[in-house]
Homo-oligomer: A and B are copies of this chain.
Amino acid sequence: MQETNDMPGHLIRRLQQAAVAIFYREVAETDVDVSPVQFAALDAVSKAPGIDQATLAGLIAYDRTTITGVVDRLVAKGYLQRTQSEKDRRAKVLKVTEKGQAALLQVRPAVMAAQTVMLRGLDEAEAEAFMTLLRKALGAVNELSRAPMVARENAG
């Protein structure tokens, strides 16, 4: 019987928890207040201005229900602008505000630093091997998640 503590799922959960803690640690040294999830969303919108929420969810593999609250908070912070789409009145169109752009610029180095800290136990070759295996494992289970990553089709 495999030990619970050494099961893939358990180790993945723990690494994810550590990764989140590391993210907050690094980002806390900037003036910007964003969560890992909020950063990913903000960054994605900055690279696809005018994107709608559903497409955004697909891009960064979020649940569509979750994205509502995440965008809510980014709008409340003044980082995102959410307006009704003219082409499709069901959809909301997202854009990064100037304040959001400034925040992104400031926070990106901290996020990059966090990525390094997360893998600080691995040397360069190991880190690369880990990332390769991570991508491969993920590719095979992506569809099993309710929030699979969906390749981008349009920018709205």
The chain A residues found within 8 Å of chain B, CB to CB, are 1-2, 4-23, 25, 36, 39-40, 43-44, 59-61, 108, 111-112, 114-115, 117-122, 126-127, 129-131, 133-142, 144-147, 149
Contacts and interface: CB of A to CB of B under 8 A. Distances in A.
Main SS class of interface, A: helix
A141 B118 contact: yes
A133 B130 contact: yes
Contacts of A23: 9
B118 A9 contact: yes
A42 to B, nearest CB: 10
B115 A138 contact: no
A14 to B, nearest CB: 5
Given A16-B13, A142-B18, A60 B137 contact: no
